[in-house]
Structure 1
């Protein structure tokens, strides 16, 4: 059945995906729940409702984030499609690679990786106009996660193609080329897992291979699925975060200068970017038991879409939610990294990469402007840029 407040807003059109926020507002203003017409998902846009994500008694993750529900845990059994108690046990085992101490130990290496990419960009573009996503926002986080996994990053072009296929399949039709890319990616991870099994290293892929739940190692399918997940999610989300931040500092008058002169404002600026332009906009869950929201009955096996991007602009929580405000006292309430059991394991790493990236930009340049030419990520699950031209001086 449709919610009494439903309309014909299709959240998956190219126009709405380009800028979904007016659609989010219309849906949020119409009531607590809305059934979108394309896939029939029930959409939650209110911040408080989205926090029900933590209730694994009502919602499960078997189909992951995909609004079309095509990729089940039986096919892709990664940590993102696993629920407690198994999810909690896997996450606890892998936490050691993302603990505060572990992430901090990577700071010097991450800084070096970003500096190398900025240096390469400077050599290639003496005119100071370039695609910042192509040169830094995408490849630098990719190099970071490859190092963490224990992979060489000499197959950058393959990683980019594979990860693009993984992201572009969400909420959109899958081409044969994309399907083949996913098969290639899984094959690569399988080979790396076999290598780590025979010759363990001090890296994340080794941790995945030897992870145990109740005394048993993960299945080969789980190992491959989690390797694929961390390779792709480990840099796609961060790349989107960095490109979104770049747009903010290049387009909001005076922001770049303020941050350059007062670095204490940098962390609030990064958090406000995460709130306003969440790199993951929407995630989906499957209903395990009947639930009533207002007067709408949501049945078992129905699909729920939790709109993180809408919740982060909920005026009941964030005053003047459309404004970029460095003085907000409740920035830690944003939902950009999810909520509950499935809160992003790599959030601390993404924040560190954001700080390093931003500080290098602020140190190297006196001014940043947007140039002509950009291309957004497709669909409405991820929000960021595939290409973004900027001018620096």
Structure 2
């Protein structure tokens, strides 16, 4: 009963409101309540854009305007939203009484849910170990991991689920190394991550909410034991370094360490799985772009940004006004919300010529908002770009005739977008690697 009450106040009530508002044509509510939008949101992006830079909805304002998104992400007039903080009185009281003790990526001390000065301190601590040198070393790890995974695929005939066999295994290995996870436990961490992926969504159905809660609680229990192990026997992984890191003599608490580790898993694993799958989908359906990459491999870094622009693995975020302000000629009172549709801003024709076209030579592909911006710009952006570039280049260099062999299945999530499975045929292995 306690769990069902929490579901109702956190998701069930919003599902009811969003469903009614979406049926009435509310554009922001359609992001939550329209099943067709999850499959293909591009039509909704166009509808929102046609009504102006900022569109007022029944639940919140919404924007797909590149300039507005850029402004709000960097504005001190807006802050991130803490899960459950905006529920009306009686519902908020129920949420507080039924709240799980497990850490959530949208609740402090997660970097996604904190603001200065706490956010500044956490980010400084993480940055002290997540250095450019560390990322360069991780790039080498990505290359080695991709090669080993492709070696395991050699000789495979028939249909292969490339998400399961490659796209998921590459980032879980990299994240496992960052968190110091033994190889024997990485499948378990992968399972928790997949269960918890919809935790960023609003309006979850009851069954999905139960699976998310199971994943979050399971990961929290595993992580507490894992951190205790690292304290006893630290390694050379970044998590061990964070355990011993200090800022003016102050170390991260156990709760803060768990919050950072949880965010690393959510942001570093699920998003990378999604962009790898989306990249494969794009390249197999645009063979002309693959030819360009083969003729000029120096285009791969730009191609990775173009994939991130066109298939943003994080579709949207939201901010709350902390004081009266105006954005996009719309006034906001303190506490009012704006939903920033990152994926829509990435297709703004005012910034990107022919924005729905996949073009690996696009000169401003890196102007996308897929890594957020301002003080919440993704700390792992360089690593995500490396995994996308290296992982896909290695795959198509090894299997230049790779083709989709059936309809890929999208993940049942809205904030995060990608594929849960993708059947392919590998084709002949390239003679260059024989």
The answer, yes or no, to whether TM exceeds 0.5 is yes
Match of 1:347 among 361, 381, 391: 381
Partner of 2:181: 151
> For the Cα contact (< 8 Å) 2:81–2:320, is it kept in 1?
yes
Output the TM-score relative to the length of structure 1.
0.89
What secondary structure is seen at the aligned counterpart in 1 of 2:408?
strand
Residues 153/369 of structure 1: CA separation in 2 closer, same or farther (3 Å cut): same
Q: Per-residue deviation at 1:179?
A: 0.8
Q: Per-residue deviation at 1:227?
A: 1.2
Whole-angstrom distance in 1 between the partners of 2:191 and 2:337: 29
Match of 1:11 among 31, 56, 66: 31
Residues 272/64 of structure 1: CA separation in 2 closer, same or farther (3 Å cut): farther
* Structure 1 runs not aligned, ≥5 long: 1-5
Whole-angstrom distance in 2 between the partners of 1:209 and 1:287: 34
Number of aligned pairs? 384
1:44 corresponds to 2:44: no
Q: Per-residue deviation at 1:107?
A: 2.9
What secondary structure is seen at the aligned counterpart in 1 of 2:183?
coil
Q: Per-residue deviation at 1:188?
A: 1.2
Residues 101/294 of structure 1: CA separation in 2 closer, same or farther (3 Å cut): closer
Residues 44/352 of structure 1: CA separation in 2 closer, same or farther (3 Å cut): same
Partner of 2:392: 358
Output the TM-score relative to the length of structure 2.
0.81
Write the deviation string for residues 25-72 of structure 1: whole angstroms up to 9, x where unpaired: 1101201222445xx132121000001234452111242799999998
Whole-angstrom distance in 1 between the partners of 2:321 and 2:368: 24
Whole-angstrom distance in 2 between the partners of 1:270 and 1:117: 20
Q: Per-residue deviation at 1:240?
A: 0.9
Partner of 2:121: 89
Whole-angstrom distance in 2 between the partners of 1:97 and 1:321: 37
Residues 231/326 of structure 1: CA separation in 2 closer, same or farther (3 Å cut): closer
Partner of 1:3: none
What secondary structure is seen at the aligned counterpart in 2 of 1:175?
helix
Write the deviation string for residues 132-164 of structure 1: whole angstroms up to 9, x where unpaired: 110111111011111111111323332222112
Equivalence map 1:1-393=2 (5 Å): 7-9=25-27, 10-12=30-32, 13-37=34-58, 40-63=59-82, 75-123=107-155, 125-127=156-158, 129-169=159-199, 170-173=201-204, 174-213=208-247, 215-293=249-327, 296-393=330-427
What's the Cα RMSD here? Answer: 2.6
Residues 206/36 of structure 1: CA separation in 2 closer, same or farther (3 Å cut): farther
Q: Per-residue deviation at 1:186?
A: 0.7
Q: Which moved more, 1:230-239 or 1:153-162?
A: 153-162
Q: Per-residue deviation at 1:82?
A: 1.5
Q: Which moved more, 1:65-74 or 1:273-282?
A: 65-74
- Following superposition, which runs of at least 4 residues in structure 1 exceed 3 angstroms of deviation? 53-56, 64-76, 210-215, 293-297
Whole-angstrom distance in 2 between the partners of 1:277 and 1:78: 25
* Structure 2 runs not aligned, ≥5 long: 1-23, 96-102, 428-434
Residues 150/131 of structure 1: CA separation in 2 closer, same or farther (3 Å cut): same
Q: Per-residue deviation at 1:294?
A: 5.1
Whole-angstrom distance in 2 between the partners of 1:262 and 1:65: 49
Q: Which moved more, 1:195-204 or 1:261-270?
A: 195-204
> For the Cα contact (< 8 Å) 1:77–1:222, is it kept in 2?
yes
More helix as a share of residues:
2
